């Protein structure tokens, strides 16, 4: 969520006390295209959706969207979210808008940096679009695809009309935790996947959107949910994603209840 994240970001930057460069060092390329600069064509990721508060999400059942816990309010009736689906271009005439009716947020969610950052949203009606399965296994390392309509630069608070996507390598928990510890944040390791490299990352407005990989049969499965990061695409810091394998059963139960 854009507003909330700006706040979280300010807190993190303060916690980092000055040793966090806002720009790339001299001689290194600046972190420009955060989501890697590629625009997704129609039909490539048919299950990704945009949420009106400025987040991403995925259609995981015909009537249920999976997103980040910090994107939504508490569990209960909720008709305030509009979900845009069916087209990577949000202004396209073929994009579908549908309202939410109910939210179920992880009962353990407090803030994004404390883990449990997932929620499901029930829509007012079913959508006839492909759904994205949750990863059936615990493969949490590799190079994964991330996407969203969020900022393409840390310093430019502007959302995109077109879906952007990028491939990001995962980073060992120890390395990611060490970087964030130095910035004053304790990574919840067993609930997080860190990924990204200098110049390639998700950013503000991508939260709730998916991290995906292809399974052996070539089908996309969701392994993560965009959660948080210190700035975007900075050298030495990484995007943090909710680790779906850790919450698979809880999410599946919630999806079943809201279907």
CB nearest ligand ARG: which residue? 229
Q: Which is nearer to ligand ARG, 63 or 69 (CB)?
A: 69
Q: How far apart are CA 222 and CA 121, in angstroms?
A: 17
Q: Which is nearer to ligand ARG, 188 or 232 (CB)?
A: 232
Q: Which of 100, 192, 207, 227 is catalytic?
A: 207
As measured in angstroms, the least distance from the Cβ of 208 to ligand ARG is: 7
H-assigned helices in 17-96: none
Q: Which residue from 150, 199, 210, 224 is in contact with ligand ARG, where contact means CB under 6 A?
A: 150
* Tokens found for residue 224: 């993560």
Q: Which is nearer to ligand ARG, 61 or 188 (CB)?
A: 188
Interaction of residue 5 with ligand ARG, rule CB under 6 A:
yes
Residue 116, φ and ψ in degrees, nearest 5: 55, 35
Interaction residues for ligand ARG, span 180-239 (CB under 6 A)? 201-207, 226, 228-229, 232, 239
Per DSSP, what are the bridge partners of residue 165? 38, 147
Per DSSP, what are the bridge partners of residue 145? 167, 212
Instruction: Give the total of residues touching ligand ARG (CB under 6 A).
Output: 16
Q: Is 207 a catalytic residue?
A: yes
Q: Which is nearer to ligand ARG, 161 or 256 (CB)?
A: 161
Q: Is 104 a catalytic residue?
A: no
* Residue the block writes with tokens 């009309």: 161
Q: Which contacts qualify for 39-44: CB closer than 8 Å, 24 or more apart?
A: 39/88, 39/162, 39/163, 39/164, 40/88, 40/147, 40/162, 40/163, 40/164, 40/165, 41/88, 42/87, 42/88, 42/89, 42/92, 44/88, 44/165
As measured in angstroms, the least distance from the Cβ of 121 to ligand ARG is: 15
Q: Which of 100, 104, 116, 117 is catalytic?
A: 117
What mask, x for binding ligand ARG by CB under 6 A, covers residues 66 to 105? ----------------------------------------
Q: Which is nearer to ligand ARG, 11 or 41 (CB)?
A: 11
CA distances from 159 to 90, 123, 132, 135, 153 (A): 11, 24, 24, 28, 10
* Tokens found for residue 10: 């300010």
Q: Is 137 a catalytic residue?
A: no
**What is the binding site for ligand ARG (CB under 6 A)?**
1, 5, 112, 150, 201-207, 226, 228-229, 232, 239
* Catalytic site positions: 70, 117, 207
């Amino acid at each position: 969520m854009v507003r909330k994240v700006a706040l979280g970001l300010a807190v993190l930057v303060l916690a980092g006390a000055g040793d966090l460069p806002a720009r790339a060092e001299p001689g290194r390329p600046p972190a420009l295209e955060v989501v890697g600069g590629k625009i997704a064509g129609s039909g490539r990721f048919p299950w990704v959706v945009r949420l009106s508060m400025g987040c991403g999400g995925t259609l995981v059942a015909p009537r249920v969207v999976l997103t980040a816990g910090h994107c939504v309010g508490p569990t209960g009736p909720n008709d305030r979210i509009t979900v845009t689906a069916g087209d990577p271009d949000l202004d396209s005439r073929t994009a579908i808008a549908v309202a939410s009716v109910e939210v179920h947020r992880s009962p353990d969610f407090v803030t994004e940096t404390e883990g449990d950052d997932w929620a499901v949203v029930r829509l007012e009606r079913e959508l006839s679009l492909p759904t994205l399965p949750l990863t059936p296994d615990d493969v949490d390392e590799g190079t994964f695809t991330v996407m969203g309509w969020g900022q393409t630069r840390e310093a430019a608070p502007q959302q995109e009309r077109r879906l952007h996507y990028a491939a990001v390598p995962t980073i060992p928990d120890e390395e990611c935790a060490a970087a964030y510890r130095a910035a004053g944040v304790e990574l919840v390791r067993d609930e997080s996947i860190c990924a990204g490299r200098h110049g390639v990352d998700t950013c503000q407005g991508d939260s709730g959107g998916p991290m995906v990989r292809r399974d052996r049969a070539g089908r996309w499965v969701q392994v993560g949910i965009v959660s948080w990061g210190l700035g975007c695409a900075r050298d030495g810091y990484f995007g943090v994603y909710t680790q779906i394998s850790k919450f698979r059963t809880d999410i599946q139960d919630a999806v079943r209840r809201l279907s």
